[in-house]
Structures are given as C-alpha cells and as structure tokens.
C-alpha cells in the first residue's frame, strides 16, 4: 500500500451518521477531494496486518451483509490460508428489500475503496474485486472513483453480477468469478479457505469494508461509542412500504424499529405488521416490532433475524397472506434449483400459500400440509436460501393467523388482489425502498 501522509486526521463524524456523513446530504457522490477533506488520507501508518486485525477485533465490527459474522475472524482465517489471498467486496443488494449497497457505492465510493485496500493490507492480498449489481446506475460512481485512485500494491477491478436473489451469496459470487455461473456452491470448503482461483478469499459486504475504513482512522473505541455492546456501530437500514419517506437511513444499532420509522417520516397510514430482515427475515406484529431494538442479539431473542437491516411496513388494509404468497413465489423462482428443497419444496410451499389466499379448502388440509412442508425443508438445503424462505413463510402463519382463518373459512379478505407492498419484482407496487 502507499504510505500514509503525516497530515492530521479530521475530527471523526459525530452522531449516528458516519458512513454517509456529508455526501448523502449534498445529494451528489463524494469525489476524491471531498472524501479526503471529510475523512483524511488512508491511514496505513506503521500498523502491520496483525495490529489492524486486532483493532477490528476490539471494535466488535460484525458483517453488514446479513449474517453478522465477526469481521476479525474472517480476516484471521483468510490471512492464515495457503496461497496469496484475494478480497471480494459484495455490493450487489441481492435482496430486493434492501438498497443500502447502492446508496453507499453511489455516495461514498472512496470510503468503500479505502476499506478494500485496508482489507487487502490485513490479509496480504494484492488483488481485489468490487461486485455490483448488473446495470445499476451507481456503478458509474464506482468506476469513476476507481479511475481516480491508484495503489501500486493492489489491483482493484469492478465486476457487474447478474441481478438475481441468490447471486450475491458469497459462494455464488466466487462461483461467478471463477466460472460465470452466479449460483451458490456446496460448502465446505468456504471461500475463506478456497475461493476465487482456488485462493483464500475474503468476501465482505461493502458496508462492512466502509466501516473498516472509519475504524482504522478513528479507532475501535470511537466505533463503539454507537450501537450496543454486542452489535456496535451504525448500520444502513432500508425502509419501505407504508412510510412517508421510503429510503436508506443510517442509524445506531440497537435503535428501536419505531424510531427508525420516525426517521422515515413515520407511517403513511395505520400499520398491522412489519417485515424485518429482508425477504429471508420474518413478519412481526406492529406492536412487537415497534419496540424491537435493531441489533443482532435483540432480533435473535425475539425469534427473528436482523438480516440485511431492511424493514417493510405493512398497512392494515393489506393482506399479509397474499403478500407472503407473492414473495414466496418470487423466492421459489429465484432459487438456484440445485437441490430438492429448492426444486420441489419451495414451489410446493408457494402453491399451498396461493391455495390459502384463494380460500378454496375449508377442511384445513392445505394449512396442515403447508405446516408439515415447512418443517421438512428447514436445514436440508444446499445453501441457506430454503431456510430463509421457510422462516419467512412460517412467521406469516403466526402473525396473520386471523387472516388465514378467514381465508380457510372461505372469506378471503378484499385486499388479496390489490397492488403488492412487498418489494418483489413484478407488477407495479406501492411503497418500497429507493
């Protein structure tokens, strides 16, 4: 890496807006000069890879791609691997409920590049790939940012990945870079052990890497001044559905969902439920969801997952069962189609949900069959996609139990055929993220 300058660093961003400090408010991408004025030069200093990884460990930084895995553990695994590592930055926004990666790549591309370079320094990589969703407009900002940067020790290239739900899973990215096929592969080995070109591969979300750039500048203790003890720092949350200002917001981890809704201008009409954690997450009744702190440990205690930190507000006049059926159908179509649960299980679940929406089986046999299928599929897929889909469907059976009872009784609600609120590709929809 190039040597750091001796210029003092600017003061760290105050409050909960860190990653998007200044750039989002200006409404335009931060160029290199603006980036350096806001955050100072890349602080390689005298710290070696071990010291950098130790700082990440002290910060408690967890991955922002959905799983919340401790970043320091990933760094150590890749650094200890055999062969020259490579770094892959995941900025694909594979889940339609989230738009945070696009926001970050558009408005703070140099912060992401800083994080990529620092990750390369930590694991000993001389090559990195930034993966973006194919055809997205924000790709121009990243290409322009890369053109403005040069590092004699690291080669960074940008690659556009097909716009499919499973294409942004880490083994799918590695498979795409190796073969052009953007589908997950069976593990082990994990990419950290043998990934791109058979080399140890660090796959991290672009938001995680941008946080790394801030931690290295301002320190682990500063990073921990926001968030919770187990989930420190801030995170980018995509808020959609029945809110006044759908979009991407940066908040402290541990912020109650109700406060995040307030950031988005509040609800645009009365709500009945909240979808938490992206399409592989869970439905929650609105009363429970409002009080839920948006942190990994709190979501886990509530029987949910934080996932991609995406929220979709469902209004009272919507049919939660119909929204679930549409979404599960999309997830079944978007599967990799490489194992029985994806090829047969998910389409069967989607069929059962469609039958429930139509209310054509007053015997309750369809509902019983659906419950049985959900229990059979969990944990049996070649990747995590079936588990996320069954978790989402099972949560609907709990949260919308009254709706489902009406449908089974032959009285489907009048909103079952209205425009959908869940942000799945298809017909024109209401609400949704940016």
DSSP category for residue 384: S
User: If you average pLDDT over residues 395-419, what whole number do you get?
Assistant: 85
- Cα distance between residue 344 and residue 339, in whole Å: 8
Give me the pLDDT at residue 10, please: 87
Q: 52: how many CB neighbours lie within 10 A of its CB?
A: 23
pLDDT in tens, 146-179: 999 988 789 999 999 988 888 888 999 999 999 9
Q: What is the SS3 assignment for 367?
A: helix
144: Cα separation from own chain's centroid: 24
CA distance 110 to 143: 11
Q: Where are the domains of the chain?
A: 23-223, 234-315, 320-408
Whether domain 23-223 has CATH 3.30.70.100: the reply is: no
Do the strands 234-241 and 310-315 form a parallel or antiparallel pair, or are they unpaired? parallel
Most confidently predicted of 242-256, 331-345, 364-378 = 242-256
Task: Kindly give the residue spans of alpha helices, DSSP state H, lying in 45-169.
Answer: 49-59, 71-79, 100-107, 109-123, 139-147
Is 243 strand, coil or helix?
Answer: strand
Beta bridge partners of 201: 86
Indicate the CATH number of 320-408 among 1.20.1440.230, 1.10.150.120, 1.10.30.50, 3.40.80.10: 1.20.1440.230
> Residue 60: pLDDT band by 50, 70, 90 thresholds?
very high
Check: CATH 3.10.20.600 for 234-315?
Answer: yes
pLDDT tens digits along 201-232? 999 999 999 999 999 999 999 999 999 999 99
Which of 39-43, 86-90, 301-305, 369-373 is least confident? 39-43
Is the pTM for the entire model greater than 0.95? no
Alpha-carbon torsion (330, 335, 339, 341), positive or negative: negative
At which residue do the structure tokens 């790394």 appear? 212
């Amino acid at each position: 890496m190039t040597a750091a300058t001796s210029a003092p660093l600017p003061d760290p961003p105050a409050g909960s807006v860190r990653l998007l400090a200044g750039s989002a408010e200006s409404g335009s991408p931060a160029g290199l000069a603006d980036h350096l004025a806001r955050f100072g030069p890349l602080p390689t200093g005298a710290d070696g890879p071990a010291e950098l990884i130790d700082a990440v460990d002290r910060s408690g930084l967890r991955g922002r791609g959905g799983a919340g895995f401790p970043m320091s553990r990933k760094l150590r695994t890749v650094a200890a691997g055999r062969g020259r590592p490579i770094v892959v930055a995941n900025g694909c926004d594979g889940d339609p409920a989230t738009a945070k990666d696009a926001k970050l790549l558009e408005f703070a591309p140099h912060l992401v590049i800083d994080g990529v370079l620092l990750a390369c320094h930590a694991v000993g990589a001389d090559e990195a790939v930034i993966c973006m969703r194919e055809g997205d407009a924000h790709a121009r900002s990243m290409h322009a940012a890369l053109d403005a940067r040069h590092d004699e020790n690291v080669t960074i290239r940008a690659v556009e990945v097909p716009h499919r739900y499973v294409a942004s899973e880490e083994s799918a990215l590695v498979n795409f870079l190796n073969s052009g096929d953007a589908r997950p592969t069976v593990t082990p080995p994990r990419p950290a052990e043998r990934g791109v070109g058979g080399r140890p591969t660090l796959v991290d979300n672009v938001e995680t890497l941008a946080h790394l750039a801030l931690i290295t500048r301002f320190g682990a203790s500063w990073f921990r001044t926001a968030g919770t003890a187990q989930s420190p720092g801030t995170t980018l949350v995509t808020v959609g559905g029945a809110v006044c200002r759908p979009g991407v917001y940066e908040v402290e981890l541990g912020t109650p969902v109700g406060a995040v809704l307030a950031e988005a201008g509040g609800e645009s009409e009365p709500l009945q439920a909240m979808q938490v954690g992206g399409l592989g997450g869970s439905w929650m009744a609105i009363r429970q969801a409002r009080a839920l702190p948006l942190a990994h440990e709190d979501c886990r205690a509530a029987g949910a997952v934080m996932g991609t930190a995406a929220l979709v507000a469902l209004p009272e006049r919507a049919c939660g069962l119909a929204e679930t059926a549409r979404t599960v159908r999309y997830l079944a179509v978007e599967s990799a189609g490489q194992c029985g649960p994806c090829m047969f299980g998910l389409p069967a679940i989607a069929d059962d949900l469609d039958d429930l929406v139509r209310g054509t089986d007053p015997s309750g046999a369809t509902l019983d069959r659906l419950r049985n299928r959900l229990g059979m599929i969990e944990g049996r897929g070649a990747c995590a996609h079936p588990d996320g889909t069954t978790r989402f469907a099972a949560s609907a059976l709990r949260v919308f139990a009254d709706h489902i009872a009406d449908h089974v009784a032959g009285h489907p609600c009048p909103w079952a055929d209205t425009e959908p609120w869940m942000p799945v590709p298809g017909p024109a929809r209401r609400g949704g993220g940016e």
